[in-house]
Amino acid sequence: MTKRLNILLVGYVVKDVEHIRETLEAGGLYFELECVTTADAFPKVLVECPWDIILSDDAMPDLGAEGVLFHLAMHHLAIPVIVVSSQGSDKLAAHYMKAGAQDFILISCMVRLVPAVQRSLKQMETLRHFRETQLALQKSEALFRAIASNLPGLVFQFLLNENGCKSFSYVSEGSVMLLGILPTALIAQPDLFTDLILPEDKADYDKLMQASARYFSTWNWEGRIQVKGDPDIKWVSLRATPRRSLNGAILWDGIVMNISRNKQAEIEIARSHAQLAELSSYLQKVKEHERARIAREIHDDIGGTLAAIKCELLPFLDTKLRAPDFYQQKATSIEELVDYVIDSTRRISMDLRPGILDCGIVAAIEWQAREFSKRTEIPCQFYCDNEEIPLDADLAIAIFRIFQEILTNISKHASASNVSVKLFEKNGWVFLRATDNGRGIRESDINKPGSFGIRGMRERCQQLGGELHVNGVPEKETCVIIQIPVNGKG
């Protein structure tokens, strides 16, 4: 032990003090000793220093170990006491241990002193940590109950055992206000909650709970309940997070809230929107279509070209030695891309229609695939059985823009080394399929709020009566398929 200990000796003669000091030093302890030999001095010395341990004898009638233990107990002082006595018996040792001593050692057997001191200090440290943990737990529980009791809803813990048995392990007082059921009653009879759910909403409740249990996903459910004796129907929202309990069951921590006002507001808003749409449908459609068209063109054309410029600049940032012609080629390519951005801006402001489309959609897609390979050094194979697929101008522009966005996403996110593109027409539908061998894409990536590119492509397809499908195999490939009717109506 490297800590310097404050040790108080009580009731020892000089000879015994020296013997104890020598024993402690021989045991490798670092310490400061102070001796008390009178009963009057003991209480004063006791409060002068934060003592780590007290060694006491029972030889002095007015200052014995029993008096020391009694004083500590009366004043609730948690200082370990070891009785080191010149005489004793098993009966006397048991008496002191019962009174609160950590150990009883005879002076004639001082070899036990250092281990006893170390053990006592360790026990006191463990006890201190236990008390601190217990106090922190009590504070945490009190805080949780205070928060739960003031939340505008019902806080709960719900348990699903492996045998399918369901139960509530905790229910807050909010159950009375929300459900009209006491927490104790809901814990005793968990089916009281599901009995309140309207029959047409029960299937969805069970389905989402089972899905959350199977995939350990958040349990989100909105449905209607009718409290006994209440003529009104309430909309409630349940949100809970699952975790595995020690016995293998699934435990959800969650909250149920009354969202009736929000639902009523949604219904009123929907009704108002429908009325406004009837009054100004034509103007709104024209305005929104134009805004969406301009926004898509700026994002897909200029944004894609700027991404290509960034790709061209990347070799300038590494330490790889290349021939001067390589950098000259890159600079020339960047200059061309900048010119293309300027031209694109001019085209967007005038018409937004790429000139390459004058040669047809097949030539435009093939040209874009070659340009992508040049800029990114990623091979992009293009396949089309038809020399030309006659399309309406707007439809051709839409397919071309979607293809540009697909290539932009591949260059930004896929880390692919090969891209395959196929364009074909079948049964009055035009199909474009682009597959890369990159890192793949997950469903969460497709649906995340920031997926503006995918959202824009899907919106463009839907406006033309078509569909967009994105499928991915993690760390293997991503396949994007668009299918649009040739007449643009579906």
pLDDT digits (tens, 9 = 90+) for 294-341: 677 777 777 778 888 888 787 777 777 778 888 788 788 888 888 777
Is 265 within a domain? no
Query: Looking at residue 220, which CATH number applies to its domain?
Result: 3.30.450.20
- Looking at residue 327, what is its pLDDT? 77
Question: Average pLDDT for residues 132-144, to the nearest whole number?
Answer: 78
Cβ–Cβ under 8 Å, residues 483 and 427: no
Asked whether residue 9 falls in the same domain as residue 127, the answer is yes
pLDDT digits (tens, 9 = 90+) for 201-258: 999 999 999 999 999 999 999 999 999 888 889 999 999 999 998 888 999 999 999 9
Cite the DSSP H helix spans in 151-218.
174-179, 183-188, 191-194, 199-215
- Give the separation between CA 464 and CA 482, rounded to whole angstroms: 11
Strand partners, 240: 219, 254
Q: Percent of the chain scored above 90 by pLDDT?
A: 25
Final residue belonging to a domain, choices 329, 352, 375: 352
Asked whether residue 165 falls in the same domain as residue 109, the answer is no
Question: Average pLDDT for residues 402-420, to the nearest whole number?
Answer: 89
Is 146 within a domain? no
Highest mean pLDDT among 52-66, 130-144, 415-429, 440-454: 415-429
- Residue whose pair of structure tokens reads 């921590």 in the numeric block: 253
Asked whether residue 250 falls in the same domain as residue 284, the answer is no
Cβ–Cβ under 8 Å, residues 357 and 364: yes
Question: Average pLDDT for residues 412-416, to the nearest whole number?
Answer: 86
Query: Looking at residue 451, which CATH number applies to its domain?
Result: 3.30.565.10
pLDDT at 283 over 50: no
Q: In this structure, what are the phi and psi dihedrals at residue 431, rounded to the nearest 5 degrees?
A: -120, 140
Final residue belonging to a domain, choices 317, 352, 387: 352
Highest mean pLDDT among 13-17, 143-147, 154-158: 154-158
- Looking at residue 487, what is its pLDDT? 79
- Looking at residue 490, what is its pLDDT? 53
Final residue belonging to a domain, choices 229, 258, 287: 258
Is 264 within a domain? no
- Looking at residue 80, what is its pLDDT? 92
- Give the separation between CA 5 and CA 119, rounded to whole angstroms: 14
Domains of the chain: total: 4
Range of the domain at 212: 151-258
Distances (CA, A) of 74 to 9, 53, 70, 228, 434: 20, 17, 6, 57, 83
- Looking at residue 144, what is its pLDDT? 64
Question: Average pLDDT for residues 33-60, to the nearest whole number?
Answer: 87
Question: Average pLDDT for residues 14-21, to the nearest whole number?
Answer: 88
Burial 125-141 (b: 16+ CB within 10 A, else e): eeeeeeeeeeeeeeeee
